[in-house]
Amino acid sequence: MLDSNTGKRILDPIERARLGVQVVNKSLDEAMALIDEYVDGRNYDQQSVDYFKDQVAMQCKIRQEGNELLATSGKIISLVVNAFTANLQKASSQQENNSPS
């Protein structure tokens, strides 16, 4: 596809989908390098390339923050389980001490 204003090629939806599949599990630096390699020398409109790079950067950021959220959630669950177990043991030992022998 050509941009009517610049006369340069734009990344069409099929190209974005193909590139997206290639960069989906890459780090941001690897993804940007792959995109640059793909568009190098092909007369692409820089604005369409930058727009796609922004989308990929956002996807990488969401994935990274999702991983951090998952790790934090795991720590919270671990703390809750440990506190519950400690309280359960404490209650059990108090019950044993209070029961008539």
Q: Per the domain annotation, does 70 fall within a domain?
A: yes
- Segment 17-37 mean pLDDT: 93
Close Cβ partners of 39 (under 8 Å, ≥ 6 residues apart): 11, 49
Q: What is the pLDDT of residue 1?
A: 79
Domain range for 29 is: 13-98
- Segment 70-76 mean pLDDT: 95
Buried/exposed 63-89: b ≥16 CB within 10 Å, e otherwise: eeeeeeeeeeeeeeeeeeeeeeeeeee
pLDDT at 71 over 90: yes
Here the tokens at position 68 are: 């951090």
Q: Per the domain annotation, does 18 fall within a domain?
A: yes
Q: What is the pLDDT of residue 90?
A: 85
CB–CB of 3/48 below 8 Å? yes
CB–CB of 8/45 below 8 Å? yes
Q: Per the domain annotation, does 7 fall within a domain?
A: no
Q: Per the domain annotation, does 3 fall within a domain?
A: no
Q: What is the pLDDT of residue 95?
A: 76
Q: What is the pLDDT of residue 100?
A: 64
Q: What is the pLDDT of residue 4?
A: 81
Q: How many domains does the chain have?
A: 1
**Can you give the pTM of this predicted structure?**
0.72
Q: Per the domain annotation, does 8 fall within a domain?
A: no
